[in-house]
Structure formats: C-alpha cells, structure tokens
Structure 1
C-alpha cells in the first residue's frame, strides 16, 4: 500500500496525505498532470473520475465527475493556482454542478501537492486546507480519509508499465474483503477493441463461452442506463452440464471506459451481484478490472468455488485468439 499516512489536524484545519512510490519524481508528477492517468486513480475504485475539461495552468480549470456503481454522479472543479513542474501543484477543489458551475452550498477546500525524490523513488505530500472546522468535519464525515486511502492505493498500477505489471499473467482474482473480489486481465490491444468485443453481439458470441464444449444460445443487451441484458449457455455434444444463464440491468454505461451491471443467475433464489467493469489503456495495453460486489461472503465463496476464474481465463484466451487477432 503506497499511502504512508492520512492525518487530519482540526486545529490547523488540514488533512495531510503522504505516499511513497518506487518511481522517479518526474513519473509521479506525470500521473497527476495527465487527465487520462488521473482518471485511473483520482477517486475510490467504486467512484472513478472522468475529467471532461483540463486546463492545468495558473488561472485554468479542470472539471471532473465521479460516478458511483449505481450511476450517481458527483461533480467538482479545480481552480488552478500554481503549477511548478515537477515539484508543486496547487488548486482550489470545489463541488460543482454538471456544467462546472461551483456549488457554494458545499464546503470548499484548497490542496497543495508537493513532489520530491526519495532514496527509493519519490513522494507526494498533499495538504488540504479547509476554511472552517465545520467544513473539515463535513468532508471527514463524507469519507474523505478513507477515499484518499482507497484512491491512492490504485496509483502503483498507474505508475507501473502495464506490459511488465500485468501482461502475460492471465486472469488474477484478489479477495478485497468479505463482499468484494477484484479480477484483472491485461490484453495487448487498445481498449476500443476490447469495448467492441464486450458489447457487439456477433463478437461476444465468439468468445464468451468459458471452457470448451459450450455455446452461447442467448445474448441480448439494451446497452443504455436502465436497459436489461440476458445471456444463456448450453452444453454441446458430449459435454456434461445443464443450460444456464444470467440477467440483469445496466447501471452505468460509459463507452470504452466502464460498464456497471447487476447480475443474477436466471431462476436462482439468491440476490444479484453488482459487476463493475473498467477499461484502462496505457501504451496500447488494456487492463480490464472487474470489481464484483456480492451480497455476503457465503455467496462470494460459492461463486468463486465454481471455477469462475479458470472459466474467465479460457474465455479471455479465446478472445485473444479468435477475436482480437482478427481485429488488430
């Protein structure tokens, strides 16, 4: 975990985050000053940021939104006050509406980011100052400290070369906590091709089959927020097994970036999962990250015990071999 500390000081009206990374200071600076890289960590995993305007110079503005797994959005703007590459960045961070107009009913804050080299890489120190104790307490109550920790916990992946970090490692499943599992898979292909492969019916039917011996009999997806989807599979030939399927609702559809859905096995009595699939690209490599939220630990363990990771890897290898190879 790169975050060394997150500490609030009610007397000074500040919150200070310190994080160390095994990367040169210029590389760390670059992650904070490129909107496409910022989007990969500026916000907790379940509330990733999308920067729609980015003018990083004194007097400039950056407008971004964070979108939750239920489609709820929170908009903010940076009013940039200082840019001294690669050592210092300062801005007022203000709540806003969808048009970028500042919402004065919400507490403002000012952030100063300092970057410095260390013996093992580099360090960023973020000091956020609030105008009143009430403003500080309000942001803490909204989960600011935990949000900082979760957000910056993603920066290692941003700083790493995806080819070295994830390519060739297959499908990796990590248990985050009792109700969350994070599944990652890297592809040597741009994300627009991965998005097409996940959303165009004729492409999906060619690879989303799990182990050999199955066919996809149904693929329907009204790819809009609130739209429904349905998928079904059946064994072929001598393959043992019973037909099954999944269905659910699209909660977030952000083309080439993110797709969040509910997912329930058709006819099953247990509650739905929430699947949050994100597409991150760097230098032609795309990392798929699927964060699955389960109703409880029992359902999480039961689903993973079915061999889900192995089935996904079989499908992803087929995707590389039979779909992406023909698209590139």
Structure 2
C-alpha cells in the first residue's frame, strides 16, 4: 500500500463539502470523533450502486483535517472505479484516521473506529491500508461485522496481490508498446520501496529486468541494490530516469505539469494511487506518447484479494482475477488507440458503463 495521495495546496479557509474540488457526488461523508480515545476519522462512501462500499482504512498524521478529508474523497472515488473495473460487485468507500500509527494507535482507538463503521449499517466495509494491519482488523472486528482482511476471513497482507497485479500490468504494457512482454532486455525504474514497491521490484528482478530504484528511506534502497543488483537513483528524479518503464509505487499526484515533460520512460505503470495530479494529465501523457496504465486498473490486486478471500486461505479466485488485470489493461490500451483518447478516459468510461449497468 501507499502513503497518502493528495498533495494539493492546503486550503486556507473552510470550504463546504459540496464545493470541495474532490467532491464527486459522494453519497455520504461521515466525520467521526471519540472523546475517550481521541479518534478523529473521516469515512467517505462514494457510490454503492454495485454493492456496499469496500475500501481500506488508513491512519496517517495528516497536516490538518482538510487534508484528511481530501484524501478520503479522492480515495473513495478511486475505489468505486477500481472495484467496478475489476468486476467486483462492490461500491467504493474509504476511511482515514488522523494520527501517527506508530505512536497514537491503540486498541481502544481501533474499537472506537469499529463502532463508527458499525453505525453505517453495512454501507461501508473497511479493510487494511496504510498504517493498519491484519491484527488491527481483528480488533475492529470485535465491534463490527463490516470488516475484511481479518485473520478469520482474509488472505493476510494484500500487498503481494497488489504487487502481482502491477507486475502483470507492466508486462501487458510492454506487450502493447513493444510487441513482447519479455523483461530480460528491459529497464524498469521503481519509485517507492514500501511493501508493494519492494515486491514489484523482486518480481521484476526474478523475471530478468534491470532495475533502477528510488526511495526516501535509504535502508530500503540499500536492500534493493544488494538483493536485486539494482542501481539507485534520486527519489525526486526517478521519473526522469532513462528506462523502458517508470513504476511509481509511492506518493500520488506525481504525474503533473512539472514531471510529465521530464519523463524518461515511454511507459508509466506502477502501484501508487491517484498518480495523475489532475485528470487532464492523462491527456498530457498521451500527447507526449507515453503509455499510461491507469492506477486503479493496475493496482486492484489488493482490493481483489480482500473482496474474494475465502475461509481456509484458498486464494485461487483472487489470483485468477488479479492475473486478469493484464487482459483488462490490454483492452484499455487498444480502445484508447482506436478512439484516440487517453487511457485514463477509457478506463473511466469502462467503469462508468458497469456502474450504469451497460
């Protein structure tokens, strides 16, 4: 999973929810507070036409409440489109808890959060995300049945499934651009070496790719250099590294007016959420001749594993659907070429078609 996505300027004055730039006809946004534990949470339900809203809960030390609300709004919309495009009968939602998960997370706070989830009556189903673990989900499950990814009903850490989907998506992008998904002669720059990014790097290394790696956490870079014979590049210049694929696996909004003209790879395919700073940047990528794998299409493996987990640890259905991400992306790429649209526009179209029952 990835760190918070929103890096827009902090708003200087309160803005009505309905006037918020990231409000997109969200069905419900709940602000929750618990005086005894200090819990401050935002739960955003974007769309439930396909089913209850599934989306993880992340705990992060946001700079202010407005930043937390922005993240919840953007992430919940992304989950609607992610679940729709993955063929899941689930809507999209997201929860954020404001606080440092390393120092402020307590069992009491998690139980308070679980009670807030339960008050929504099943319209929102929570799960693991940044700053949260399977053990945390077990605690939350003592207060509500509307939780996935517990030790009783989950497949454990969803990161390997996210990484598998990203790896499969990178191969699909290579096949579309170059006519072959063989990685042995390809260079991939992986930006962000958290749980998902490190697994993506490992999968690529085992497939024979040459790796460039970047992260603000030096020990992670050193690990990748040692284990994968990777070459380190500066984290803030990774997008400009000369490679066949740029795989952003850290912060969102990294594809913007400043970075897109500097891209050193003809393919962008990575795990980060909300990679486009604005929707128009999808068109900007196409105009530059860069093939972009829409983030919510390529990184859906974790959501799939949570949604399709079965008691006993059988992950065959989750793996099959995660591997199908490659086929979904090829369909998006081909349709984008045929319609002369950006891949982001096409992915949105396909998701909306399913949401509208077409």
Answer 1 or 2: which has greater helix percent.
Answer: 2
Question: TM-score normalised to the size of structure 1?
Answer: 0.27
Length-normalised TM-score, structure 2: 0.25
Q: Which has the higher strand share?
A: 1
Structure with larger Rg: 1
